[in-house]
């Protein structure tokens, strides 16, 4: 019996479907890889198989990894051991064994790195109730710059004269080009902050990432992290 799994069973059952970050701390494939907890079976965890450059990440059997899981109530982590892969199926899975119990952690789930990506941003609407008489921004594209980015959200710099364009709680569509790939993201504006004279910084949180987008952004973030470390 996997004692660590049994101690964490209740948490794990609630975490199925959650985003996962798998971290390899040494070796040729050292790095962080986005994934998702897909299923539990016989004391093992089945996660979406990590990818590298469009192919399944190889040589994972008997590799020890750090697994981080994002939930609406916080973040969890555990050390896991890669046992086997199921690849002859529509959605390849990597099967993991818990080596430690799931531990709740308070720190930010995703690494946030500096960026200089140009972004087009357009207001979509606002689900939140706004004060009576609030004028909503026009639905038009505005050019801005991403100042920092993670797999959970981004900081965006706009010119100060676009302050009326920013609505806390508003939904926006972002168009980015990263690593020669252009994609669109839906995000909610969660923070508005004046950074310097003439500029405005806002924080946005993604409503969700498509698998392709997550892969491209994850690769960019790992590259930026390595450059920052020097």
8 sits in which H/E element: helix 3-15
Q: Per the confidence metrics, is the pTM higher than 0.75?
A: no
pLDDT at 109 over 60: no
Tokens of 194: 């004046």
Cα–Cα distance, 59 to 214 (Å, whole number) = 22
pLDDT at 108 over 70: no
pLDDT at residue 7 in the model: 78
Over residues 51-76, the mean pLDDT reads 79
Q: Kindly list the structural domains of the chain, giving each domain's residue range(s) and its CATH number in brackets, ordered by start.
A: 3-105 (2.30.110.10), 113-229 (2.40.10.220)
The whole-chain average pLDDT of the chain stands at 83
Cα–Cα distance, 50 to 29 (Å, whole number) = 11
pLDDT at 106 over 60: no
Interacting residues of 19 by C-beta distance below 8 A, sequence separation 6+: 34, 35, 36, 69, 70, 109, 151
Q: pLDDT by residue (tens digit) across 4-22?
A: 788 788 878 888 888 888 8
pLDDT at 41 over 60: yes
Over residues 67-92, the mean pLDDT reads 82
């Amino acid at each position: 019996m996997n004692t660590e799994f049994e101690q964490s069973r209740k948490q794990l059952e609630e975490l199925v479907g959650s985003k996962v970050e798998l971290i390899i701390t040494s070796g040729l494939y050292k790095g962080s890889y986005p994934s998702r907890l897909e299923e539990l079976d016989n004391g093992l965890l089945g996660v979406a198989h990590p990818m590298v450059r469009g192919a399944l990440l190889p040589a994972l059997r008997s590799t020890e990894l750090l697994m981080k899981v994002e939930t609406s109530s916080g973040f969890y982590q555990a050390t896991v051991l890669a046992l086997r892969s199921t690849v002859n199926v529509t959605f390849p899975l990597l099967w993991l064994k818990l080596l430690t119990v799931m531990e709740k952690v308070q720190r930010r789930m995703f690494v946030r790195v500096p960026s200089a990506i140009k972004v087009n941003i357009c207001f979509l609407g606002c689900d939140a109730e706004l004060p009576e008489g609030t004028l909503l921004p026009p639905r038009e594209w505005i050019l801005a710059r991403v100042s920092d980015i993670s797999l959970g959200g981004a900081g965006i710099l706009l010119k100060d004269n676009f302050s009326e364009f920013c609505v806390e709680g508003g939904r926006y569509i972002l168009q980015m080009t990263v690593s020669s790939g252009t994609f669109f993201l839906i995000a909610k504006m969660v923070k508005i902050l004046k950074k310097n004279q003439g500029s405005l910084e806002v924080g946005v949180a993604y409503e969700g990432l498509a698998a392709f987008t997550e892969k491209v952004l994850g690769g960019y973030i790992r590259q930026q992290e390595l450059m920052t470390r020097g």
